[in-house]
Amino acid sequence: MRYETLAKDVFTWVEQKIKQHGPRLAGEDPSRNAADDIYKDLESFSDSVGKDDFYIHQGAFLGWIRILVLAYLVSVVFLWLKMPLFSIILTISAILILVLQFFLYLPLLDRFYPKKLSRNVYGIIEPKEEVKRQVILSGHHDSAHVFNFFIHQPKLYNLRTTGSIGIVIFLLVLSMIHLIFKDVVILNLIIPIIASLGFLLVGQMWFFSSKQVSPGAGDNLVASGVSLVLGKHYQALKDSDTSLKHTRIIMISFDAEEEGLRGARAFARAHQAMLRKVPTTMINMDCLYDEKELFFLTSDLNNFVKLDHKLAEELYQTGNSLGFKTKTQPLAFLTGGTDAAELAKIGVSATTIIGMPWTNDQRSNVYHTPNDTLDHVNLEVVKQTIEIIDTWIRKTDI
């Protein structure tokens, strides 16, 4: 019953924030204002608080998409002009940008995009006795651009994205064949025709992301709400026998997750010393929609960053012991990343709790759409998340 009350508190909190700030694109006023607002809430009950400003380059994270489309188009023109070497150079460059900017989340294109101010906020609840470890509970308050492919024929999402990348690689192979066999007259016609047909799919990528911004309830204000509500709960218990003894709680609401985890990256950079001084665990949360899809991540960032297997397993076991159906799961290649990756990179034991299917074939049907509103988030998933986290924290608070 107590957990349900906390879950309801999360809902009330999120509702108020969305009403007040609307969709919150990182780098714009609504996202910074939401940060200030969350900071005020944190200030009202935390032992200490912090606000960190940092710069992002707005739009850079998804910039590779339009570069890929343009590179493809110009490469096809070069094939028609019988200049396959230029097509090869262009396609390799586009693939390289894709790998560095999206597979590895490196800031390759950032300098070409407008510099905008973003804001992380955090609050700390100290334990009753000596601090022996710290647990980060985190979410993000910025919200995503609406992804058109999730609205128009979402079943084609995987074909349109992964398929397009496949076709670009195929174009590279075609261009090489064209270069090697440039004296075979028939190839001079067939190859440009096949490459042009490929543009029917690749060209659609131009419209991947819309200007519109999602309300961002399940992705991801609910997570910030869970971290605040739990922190406030521990603070309220401090004078009782049920107070945490040795666990410091750090509640964080990141900005710019949707810009390629830039908020978590800025936090990890700014607070490395604090994060390394005491054994630190991060329980990040993202996309809590449905308790039937609840799971704990064992890897992140297109499967290139390992998260803490043992932690994910322990949380899974905790959920199991409470009668909840959860699992652990690596993050599949080409499905992006979560803020846990940036802290795992500097050695923090981290995982992310997710409450929706996370593959290119299947996601929640409100994820990154205008329908990401509170009525599409189940109260039960929030309740179970809170219960699992609280049970695990108490079990390990020794």
- Residues forming contacts to Zn ion in the complex (CB under 5 A) are 144, 219
Minimum CB separation from Zn ion for residue 107, in Å? 19
Minimum CB separation from Zn ion for residue 257, in Å? 7
d(CA 354, CA 223): 10
Amino acid at 296: F
Residue 97 vs 144, nearer CB to Zn ion: 144
Residue 171 vs 294, nearer CB to Zn ion: 294
Residue 286 vs 314, nearer CB to Zn ion: 286
Minimum CB separation from Zn ion for residue 49, in Å? 25
Residue 298 vs 338, nearer CB to Zn ion: 338
Minimum CB separation from Zn ion for residue 144, in Å? 4
Residue 25 vs 171, nearer CB to Zn ion: 25
Residue 144 vs 244, nearer CB to Zn ion: 144
Minimum CB separation from Zn ion for residue 368, in Å? 6
State the residue number with the nearest CB to Zn ion.
Answer: 219
Residue 285 vs 388, nearer CB to Zn ion: 285
Minimum CB separation from Zn ion for residue 292, in Å? 20
